[in-house]
Structure 1
Amino acid sequence: MAFGFWLGVFILLSVWPSVRCSDLPKGAIETACRDRYLLVTTQLSFAGNEPRFEAVDADGVHPITKQYGSECGYMFSILPLPGHAELRASYFSCHTDNQDDELFTLRFNLIITAASGVETTYTVNATCSLPLPWSPREVSCEENYMEVSMRSDVSCLYGTTTDAWTAALATAHSSATSTWQVMFQQEGQELIPMSFSEARELGYVFHLTQGRLVFRSPYTPRSVMGSVSMVNGSLVEVVHPILFSRQRWVVMMVDWIVACSTNEGMYDGVQLVWQTPTLLSPLVSGLSGLESSKITMGVDGQLLDEPITAERGYSLDISDTTVQISIPFNAAGGYRKSFVMDNMYHEFYVVRLYYEQIFLDDCGVETRLRLHRPMNTPLLIQNLSIINQTVLEDRVFTVYLGNLSYDVDLVAVKLNGQNFTILEAKKSGLVITMVPQPDSTLHAYILRVPFEDAVVHKLYSTEGLLQFSLDINYTLVILPQEEPYYYLASVVAQFNDVFPPFFNGVCNEESITFLMGHKPFDYLWEVGVGPYLLTPNLAAKRGYIMQNDSKSLTLEVPLFSVGYTYKDINLKQFYGSFEIHSRLPKTLEVTSSLAKACLFQTTEVIVCSTEGVLTVVTDVALAIPGAEPNATFLLDSTCRPQETDDTRVLFSFGLHTCGTRVQVDHQHVTYENEINVEHTIQSATEPVKTRDTASVVTVRCVYPLSDLYKLFAYWRFDADSPGVGTILTRVPVKIFQPTFPPTTLTTTRRPLTSTATSNTGLSPGREMPGIHPRAKYVKVFNRN
């Protein structure tokens, strides 16, 4: 399978002027001396502009291009890791300083082009000593070239049959000169001698070191003198040069052959599989008794021992005919590369296989074969893993987004339509954590969102089913190009048997007490009194006694506090009721309520109802000593009490009747009437009933006013809330000042400040800023 441009394996031929720079970031360029090559790796940023290498020697600089690299022993590649590139340079590469085949000095220029077009050159120098002695014969199968080196004193013949060697010997005798020549043996082709320079033009390099003969060849199609054959189901590329020269009467011949398996491997849906012949017969054809003495595998140019390969899941299967290597998808040692197509997440998995095999022939001569081969899967549609790790008791959505490669970053989330960058999410109290996946090179993100967060959707049914839901749109980017990818997920959490708070009410002598035990989801509702939210501030303002802790809520509401309603009032008793309810905070929909009605003893009360009815029970004897309750009447003398006893009276009348006076200012509407007493005066002839204007009890109802709504030609009253009632007497009593919002019932007595009647039509001592006639229709509103 073609590896394609995804790895960017080669540098294009180009030479550019550079800006020299000696400052090298720490760890940006690293060198490592391996068995038979120098490894140069770079972590410098080069997004959009691939770096270039130049080999440096005494003759100058030599740009390492694709073709030049395959001819001179350099392999340059861009790895899937962002900003990661590497160069492998053979110890026998063209511009290496070789000292006795044991000490190798290599020099390079690394050129990085910034996005602005400015180039920076870094100098890379390394000297490597040979870590492992040379085998008599070594074959290196690089990604872009084949290289063979052998000791100059090896005496066995390699790679020729008797007929082939005889033909080559005959050609050499007939055309040999004192100058070394080369002819390439190909099946069915005539042997044609050529000079080294002619071979070099075809891409072949011959090199003589202190003690070794080196030959290097690119792969086909450049290798015009090579051939490709199928050996035990594997493609094998072979180049077979024979060197010869006449020294006096002796013809000297050197038989070279290099063969490399060119299989790229395959992906079976689970693992990458690569195979090669167990005996690479083109490499050693014509020799009997050939055996493979050792086979080792590894990745990234490093051989691995059996425990590590087993731990990673690698397998190495050796039969008489083939060697098969299997590496599971996403196993350690490989790399994943991600990209987006049509908002679908694709990737492939790459393994840079390293393979070593040692052969022994009949002469006991060792041939060591080393092979570098990248293997990759086809383009795969990758499904991310979403795991809902939410624990209901924690009341926090915990969502795991996994199976992300190293080159994928999370940059934003949209939660139920609300956008958050990662920074904004953290500032909002959301938690997004990147975590590595166990036993993997992948990573994941964990998102935590409390159920109580405003972004979470809540749905409650009257059947007690409570549902929290969160729609998530992840915004991911593929590095380094920052290509966006969007991934959707939804999570739901459900609770059964979730009901609004439940209240109990208890009647006391002068109050009502409400009790509510807290349950886990009570926070979803708020407790209200009328249209108002029950808070410590509201309770203190209205005189409620509230205690609230983690276990329960207790609310004691004294009689005559704001919020009471009253009915069935008589001189002995009346019903006072108070309602408390729970409601949904957003919609204010009442979900449960308790209106507790209690029977209270009647002493002295005044009620100003929302329907415009004033009901009052008062002790007239206390206000007017000796007064007869049966002899009382209102401003309209036809209005008499409904009930009386020895000292008290009960009046109930509409605010538009019984001579009631009304006055409106910019804040309130005030209704006022008087309870008068008839006295019988004994005259000389007969008793005379007369009104004593000094013996007066004044009753008032005050309603808050936000607007004078309408005046009609017929009587009508309409108020949003009950008014504040006041009883005024001529006898000093304890004063109780009611607090707005208005109460529904109050027992306030106030002494009159004067016994004279004002011409305003109101009680003496009362000054009002505006005077109005009696209204036939007044609509009043409560701002509170």
Structure 2
Amino acid sequence: MMHAFEYHTTWIVMLAVAVSSQKQPGLSQSSQPNSGLRANCLGNVMRLSLDKSLAVGNLLEVDAINGTDVIPLTPRLAAQCGYSMESDPWGNTKIYSSLFGCYAGSKEAGTFSLGLNLRMSGDLKLDEATYVVTKTCNYRSLATRHILCERNYIEVSTQLFKPQIAKNILGHDDDFTDDAGQDSVKYYVHYYYYYYYVYLFLHLCAVVLTFLPMPQASASPNDIWKLMFFTPEPKVMLLNEAKKAGYGVKSTEHRLVLRSPFNSAETYIENVAGVPMEVFSVSTYYVPIYGLNIVDSDAACPTGGLIFTDKTITWHVPRRITPVIKGAVKILKMYMGIDGQRLDKYQMAARKYTLSSTEFHIVIELPIGTPDGYYKSLAPDDQYHITFTVEPMLELVWREESTQTDTKYKVLFPITTPLMSWPTQFTGNAVPEERLFEILLGTFLPDVELINITFNTGVFSVAECNVKGFDVKEHRFPNGSKSFYLKVPFFEDAVLVHNPVPLLTTYILPMTFGLLILPEETPFSHVAKAEVSLQDVVPPAITGTCDPGYFYVTVGYGSQGHNFRTMIGERELTSKLGETYGLMSNSTHFSFVVPYSSADSIFEMVMSTSVRARIDLELVASNNWKLNDFSLSCSFPLTTTECYSNGTMTALAMKVESVPNMILSHLTLRDDSCKPNSSNNRFAYFSFGVNSCGTTRTMLGNIMVYENDISLDLKSYTSKYPDVAYYKQTVSCYYLVNVTETMAFRTRPRVKDPSADIGMGYLIVQMRLAQDESYKLFYQVEDYPVAKYLRQPLYIEVELMQSMDIKIELVLENCWATQHKDRSSLPRWNLIVDSCANLDDPYSTVFHPVEFDSRVNIPAHVKRFSVNMFTFVTDEVVLKENIFVHCNAVLCDSNNPSYGVCSSQCVNPAKTGAKKSWTADLKGSRNINYQVQGEQLSSGPILLSEPE
């Protein structure tokens, strides 16, 4: 059984709901029947119901009105004077007052008046509302004894039978009916003799007591001398001592009312028919004036007798309460109710309540979840549970056959079930098409609030979650329960992502919900995890193309971004290697350019006019899964054998894939004494006469064929590399014979060495604009027009393509800028004149040295220079249009530096000053001067950009 005042030091209820209200002093309940205050007379108690809508804050203080006095009710005083109170978690409060209480007034028999003063306020009492409630109840009952079991006290009211009372009874034959419509109980005249003889016996006892010593202290106005409590051993207290101990004593001309708080020192527990009962037994001694000087008062209230199942509460009360009943009895009436209110059989049937009796018990059954009760949330050990509370009432009227006296027995018995497990349901559904989790947590009772959610990225309140876009909502169901709903996108940092297999993504969202139970503000948490695996991985994609000198590779990131390593052959594409290959990236892909002669390319096949090369790429995840691999193979134009009219042959040999351990310096011609003129780990260069190194000659009609073979010197080579494959490369030259040419000549003394005539031809040359002076990254076609600020350097590179001739030197003859793509358009500004910087330019052209690296195999084939960004001015008007850079280039033979720009860096050194270091090895001109086509040596548009 639950006792409302057991744990309080002041009689204050903490209301769960705070609603503003005007202060209304002196408000009578009868003046506002719909105000949220309802007073009902329920037999020997008055119930006051206070609706939560009247609450001002979360505090309720109750005073008893006693005439003009207002007495604050403490828990001790409430139990002593017949008051109890119960409040549900939402602030609905019920106050019960006994009609036989200390402050219940009575002007006439059977009429009782009660008054209560209610004070509601917040914690700081900044606003307060006061309600005064008065109620008059009529309760007529001639039952000899009334026993009331309340949630916090036991009350027994005993009728006093003095001689004059008996005489009054003899003179009346009226019927008395209580407020519940009980049948009248008639006292007939023949009972007079019974009372008369009892009176004579008691009077004799009183005469004896008059000779005993009397207490010095005066008795109460009702002449009570002392009280003997049975625990069950007797214990005597004077009246004042009993009141100080917390017992209520009230004696009128017709009744003696005694009241004991539950669990008092002078009560005891007795097991009756298997039900624990708290027994209150007192004998009251009066000052012997009337002759009636001892009144025995016995009461017993159940404290147990409950059986719980998942769906039902069964309450057993002993049919024969032996501490109270001394002889045979007959039960006259039996009622059940809720919250002190009787229910008829139709109301009980609608609620599925049953009231029955067995040989030993009276049994009440109630379904768990009935609307007359309420559920409450609890969280012991951080685990969510619920209880159900309901307050049934049992009323009995029995008659003792020996004395023909009636007892009215009423029990208000609040029942709270043991903790019931309520598993919290968590649903973490994935919505793949929206790329998010839909989270549902619940259900909970209405007294649970969601305070925050803890993710792996931190703790966020509900408001902060909504700011992040998680859309946290509370959903209420018709039965009052609630659940919490939110959405979390996959891309949030709170969602953990990993790939258990290459094309499968697992999304994991761990979280902890912080919840609070009101009004106690009890915190608890729920740990949950949403997880889903989807085959939604788009692997990174690789595409590539070739031009006559380079591999162009683009790698798309796929659906998981750039979280992989890129392997080019055996090497990883690091940032340093990326600088060499002009690595460029954005949010969706990256690209780079690999020269076919790079160390990361593989030569598959060598022919007389071309070479077939390949690059292999592999994309590897952090866990070493292969995400993609790609091979790009292209043929690149390359003259590997050249035949000269003076009977000289040149040949270029390369390290091919089929002979992985080949060392090029170990190559020889048929005559193994003929080694390469030069070699590195990729190329070997031979130059020899057609009549040397074992070259053979064969006639095919009018064609003379000279052939030789390049092979490994296996005699010394196989001892070190026994598994090396056989390698042989045949080089051939074809000469036309049987053609007679007639010519006349005469001799004269040689003055100087003869030189060849200059001829004209075409050669593929590439001009590119670098992003900085490192010449590692270059602008691509799609980047034009390139925007530059005024005087910002432009880094330009010109490269000879498709030639591996180390004797050729590329020289820039003239370079200039125009406003249009047409090389001959005007206006025009010279940048390089006769291979020298333009002296008329205040910001002269700067030449940059070229060194051997993984991209540049022959530095002499590459020239670099920079100029500051400028714009054309016409009539002092700045022409803010594009500019284009154009160049003419010549090839020079380093063995014969006799022609024009090949003889030195500048045609007129006196005008240009000292030679630049990068031209120190320009030694002469070859017999053919190759003029480069204009469009191949023109840059894309360069746009002047205004500073912000």
Q: Which bin holds the TM-score, normalised by the shorter protein?
A: 0.5 to 0.7
Instruction: Give, in whole Å, the separation in 1 of the partners of 2:558 and 2:140.
Output: 80
Match status 1:349 vs 2:357? no
Instruction: Give, in whole Å, the separation in 1 of the partners of 2:286 and 2:514.
Output: 67
Instruction: Trace 1:521-600 onto structure 2 (pairs within 5 A).
Output: 523-524=559-560, 532-533=585-586, 592-593=627-628
Q: CA deviation at 1:55?
A: 1.4
Task: Give the direction of change, closer, same or farther, for the CA distance of 1:168–1:739 in structure 2 (3 Å limit).
Answer: farther
Amino acid at match of 1:351: T
Task: Give the direction of change, closer, same or farther, for the CA distance of 1:457–1:186 in structure 2 (3 Å limit).
Answer: closer
Partner of 2:73: 64
Partner of 1:140: 148
Task: Give the direction of change, closer, same or farther, for the CA distance of 1:101–1:301 in structure 2 (3 Å limit).
Answer: same
Q: CA deviation at 1:464?
A: 3.8
Instruction: Trace 1:147-186 onto structure 2 (pairs within 5 A).
Output: 147-148=156-157, 154-155=185-186, 170-172=201-203, 174-175=205-206
Q: CA deviation at 1:413?
A: 0.7
Deviations 1:529-560 (A, max 9, x none): 9864576xx99x99xxxxxxxxxxxxxxxxxx
Match status 1:110 vs 2:118? yes
Partner-residue secondary structure (3-state), 1:423 = helix
Instruction: Trace 1:468-487 onto structure 2 (pairs within 5 A).
Output: 468-480=507-519, 482-487=521-526
Partner of 1:215: 257
**Which has the higher mean CA deviation after the structures are superposed, 101-110 or 427-436?**
101-110
Partner of 1:455: 494
Instruction: Trace 1:423-438 onto structure 2 (pairs within 5 A).
Output: 423-436=463-476
Q: CA RMSD in A?
A: 6.8
Residue pair 2:541, 2:558 contacting (<8 A) in 1 also: no
Instruction: Give, in whole Å, the separation in 1 of the partners of 2:393 and 2:489.
Output: 53
Task: Give the direction of change, closer, same or farther, for the CA distance of 1:583–1:478 in structure 2 (3 Å limit).
Answer: farther
Match status 1:445 vs 2:445? no
Partner of 1:278: 319
Partner-residue secondary structure (3-state), 1:411 = strand
Deviations 1:274-316 (A, max 9, x none): 421124455564455x135434243x44456778878878765
Task: Give the direction of change, closer, same or farther, for the CA distance of 1:238–1:11 in structure 2 (3 Å limit).
Answer: same
Residue pair 1:434, 1:446 contacting (<8 A) in 2 also: yes
Task: Give the direction of change, closer, same or farther, for the CA distance of 1:46–1:749 in structure 2 (3 Å limit).
Answer: closer
Partner-residue secondary structure (3-state), 2:11 = coil
Match status 1:87 vs 2:128? no
Amino acid at match of 2:847: I
Instruction: Give, in whole Å, the separation in 2 of the partners of 1:579 and 1:743.
Output: 28
TM-score, scaled to structure 1: 0.59
Partner of 1:518: none
Residue pair 2:374, 2:388 contacting (<8 A) in 1 also: yes
Q: CA deviation at 1:479?
A: 3.3
Deviations 1:624-660 (A, max 9, x none): xxxxx9999xxxxx99999xxxxxxxxxxx9xxx9xx
Task: Give the direction of change, closer, same or farther, for the CA distance of 1:95–1:58 in structure 2 (3 Å limit).
Answer: same
Residue pair 1:31, 1:126 contacting (<8 A) in 2 also: no
Q: CA deviation at 1:466?
A: 2.6
Instruction: Give, in whole Å, the separation in 2 of the partners of 1:504 and 1:772.
Output: 35
Partner-residue secondary structure (3-state), 1:22 = coil
Deviations 1:129-172 (A, max 9, x none): 66xx7565464322223254885995559xx9x99997776224
Match status 1:52 vs 2:79? no
1:413 corresponds, among 448, 453, 456, to 453
Structure 1, unpaired ranges of 5+: 13-19, 508-513, 515-520, 543-564, 601-606, 608-614, 618-628, 633-637, 643-653, 659-681, 709-718, 726-735
Instruction: Trace 1:260-271 onto structure 2 (pairs within 5 A).
Output: 260-265=300-305
Partner-residue secondary structure (3-state), 1:204 = strand
Amino acid at match of 2:513: Y
Partner of 2:530: 491
Partner-residue secondary structure (3-state), 2:414 = strand
Residue pair 1:140, 1:370 contacting (<8 A) in 2 also: yes
Partner of 1:760: 835
Partner-residue secondary structure (3-state), 2:64 = strand
Residue pair 1:109, 1:124 contacting (<8 A) in 2 also: yes
Task: Give the direction of change, closer, same or farther, for the CA distance of 1:93–1:173 in structure 2 (3 Å limit).
Answer: same
1:699 corresponds, among 756, 765, 789, to 765
Instruction: Give, in whole Å, the separation in 2 of the partners of 1:221 and 1:588.
Output: 70
Partner of 1:237: 279
Residue pair 1:724, 1:738 contacting (<8 A) in 2 also: no
Amino acid at match of 2:766: R
Task: Give the direction of change, closer, same or farther, for the CA distance of 1:35–1:756 in structure 2 (3 Å limit).
Answer: closer
Residue pair 1:353, 1:375 contacting (<8 A) in 2 also: yes
Q: CA deviation at 1:81?
A: 1.3
Residue pair 2:428, 2:529 contacting (<8 A) in 1 also: no
Q: CA deviation at 1:486?
A: 3.5
Residue pair 1:318, 1:324 contacting (<8 A) in 2 also: yes
Instruction: Give, in whole Å, the separation in 2 of the partners of 1:42 and 1:193.
Output: 44
TM-score, scaled to structure 2: 0.51
Q: CA deviation at 1:459?
A: 1.2
Q: CA deviation at 1:418?
A: 2.8
Partner of 1:769: 845
Q: CA deviation at 1:476?
A: 2.2
Instruction: Give, in whole Å, the separation in 1 of the partners of 2:399 and 2:232.
Output: 28
Paired residue total = 639
Q: CA deviation at 1:107?
A: 3.1
Residue pair 2:4, 2:84 contacting (<8 A) in 1 also: no
Partner of 2:538: 500
Deviations 1:350-394 (A, max 9, x none): 63422223436499998653321233456x596752433525667
2:411 corresponds, among 371, 384, 403, to 371
Residue pair 1:181, 1:196 contacting (<8 A) in 2 also: no
Match status 1:11 vs 2:11? yes
Partner of 2:250: 205
Partner of 2:17: none
Instruction: Give, in whole Å, the separation in 2 of the partners of 1:630 and 1:738.
Output: 44
Using the aligned pairs only, state the percent identity: 15
Deviations 1:246-292 (A, max 9, x none): 999xx89998866342324557685765421124455564455x135
Amino acid at match of 1:500: V
Q: CA deviation at 1:22?
A: 3.3
Task: Give the direction of change, closer, same or farther, for the CA distance of 1:456–1:744 in structure 2 (3 Å limit).
Answer: farther
Q: CA deviation at 1:322?
A: 0.9
Q: CA deviation at 1:705?
A: 4.1
Structure 2, unpaired ranges of 5+: 13-21, 160-175, 178-183, 211-220, 546-552, 567-582, 593-601, 654-679, 686-741, 747-753, 788-794, 803-819, 857-863, 865-948
Partner-residue secondary structure (3-state), 1:461 = strand
Match status 1:122 vs 2:130? yes
Instruction: Give, in whole Å, the separation in 2 of the partners of 1:416 and 1:30.
Output: 50
Instruction: Give, in whole Å, the separation in 1 of the partners of 2:8 and 2:355.
Output: 29
Task: Give the direction of change, closer, same or farther, for the CA distance of 1:589–1:173 in structure 2 (3 Å limit).
Answer: same
Instruction: Trace 1:568-717 onto structure 2 (pairs within 5 A).
Output: 592-593=627-628, 699-702=765-768, 704-708=770-774
Residue pair 2:356, 2:364 contacting (<8 A) in 1 also: yes
Amino acid at match of 2:464: E
The higher radius of gyration belongs to: 2
Instruction: Trace 1:186-201 onto structure 2 (pairs within 5 A).
Output: none
Residue pair 1:75, 1:89 contacting (<8 A) in 2 also: yes
1:22 corresponds, among 21, 24, 28, to 24
Residue pair 1:338, 1:345 contacting (<8 A) in 2 also: no
Amino acid at match of 2:452: A
Task: Give the direction of change, closer, same or farther, for the CA distance of 1:593–1:257 in structure 2 (3 Å limit).
Answer: same
Residue pair 1:273, 1:327 contacting (<8 A) in 2 also: yes
2:357 corresponds, among 314, 318, 323, to 318
Residue pair 1:336, 1:347 contacting (<8 A) in 2 also: no
**Which has the higher mean CA deviation after the structures are superposed, 304-313 or 400-409?**
304-313
Residue pair 1:21, 1:120 contacting (<8 A) in 2 also: yes
Amino acid at match of 1:490: K
Instruction: Give, in whole Å, the separation in 2 of the partners of 1:705 and 1:221.
Output: 93
Amino acid at match of 1:455: A
Residue pair 2:65, 2:117 contacting (<8 A) in 1 also: yes
